[in-house]
Homo-oligomer: A and B are copies of this chain.
Amino acid sequence: MLRQRGERAIARRADHGAQQERISKAVWSILAGKGIEHLTIRSVAAEAGCTTGLVMHRFPGRKALLAHARDLLHARTRVRVERLEAETGTPRAALRAILAQGMALNEDSAQEALVWMGFLAASVGDDDLIALHRKNNRAWRDRVERLVADAAPDWGPARVRAAAFALVGAAEGAAQLACFDPESYSAETQEAMLDSLLDAYGLA
């Protein structure tokens, strides 16, 4: 059913990667819609339109399921951010663009913010997942620091670090606030906040 015909050489092998991706998407969907407390093997299988057997054949356990969905989302975000960075002309435009993509400006990104929070909540008390979070998040912080340094070449490292921290924190905090109270924090409100913040730092 899910099998893709492909070349003769791989006729027998099912496309594990595609199955993992489909299942990971189901994880995101449940994380955003019902919350981590309802993220079970069975609910994931139902959402992905397959059986629990397939889920367990693709992943060794529930934790691996979470870790893979997390890594996949990170990889997608990375691609999106790198494209944004390549497409925009100036470091300042790139900075604004990549911070904006991390906020909850539309339905999709609001869902993503919920998913990130679900992963975070799942990693409390779990050293492996925390380590994953740190690795990914430090990469994200380093990227923002680099862009801030490019956007303000005359700043010292301490000033760059503090500003980058504020930007990263504000974007993340705003996304979280917005996806739980979209009436209070509309897309316009978030963008106004971001512009206000960049302007205050002289990075507009």
Contacts and interface: CB of A to CB of B under 8 A. Distances in A.
Given A134-B181, A177-B169, A121 B35 contact: yes
A185 interface: yes
Interface residues of A, number: 54
14 contacts: A35-B123, A36-B36, A37-B121, A117-B120, A118-B121, A120-B176, A141-B184, A161-B192, A166-B193, A169-B171, A172-B173, A173-B173, A176-B176, A200-B200
A126 B195 CA distance: 32
A189 interface: yes
Interface in A140-179: 141, 158-159, 161-163, 165-166, 168-174, 176-177
A118 B177 CA distance: 14
B165 A36 contact: no
Interface string A108-127: 00000010011011111110
A168 B159 CA distance: 21
A92 to B, nearest CB: 15
Copies of this chain, whole number: 2
Given A133-B180, A166-B196, A172-B177, 6 more contacts: A35-B121, A35-B126, A114-B124, A130-B180, A166-B193, A173-B174
A43 to B, nearest CB: 12
B176 A172 contact: yes
A138 interface: yes
A137 interface: yes
A158 B192 contact: yes
B170 A169 contact: yes
A42 interface: no
Interface in A70-127: 114, 117-118, 120-126
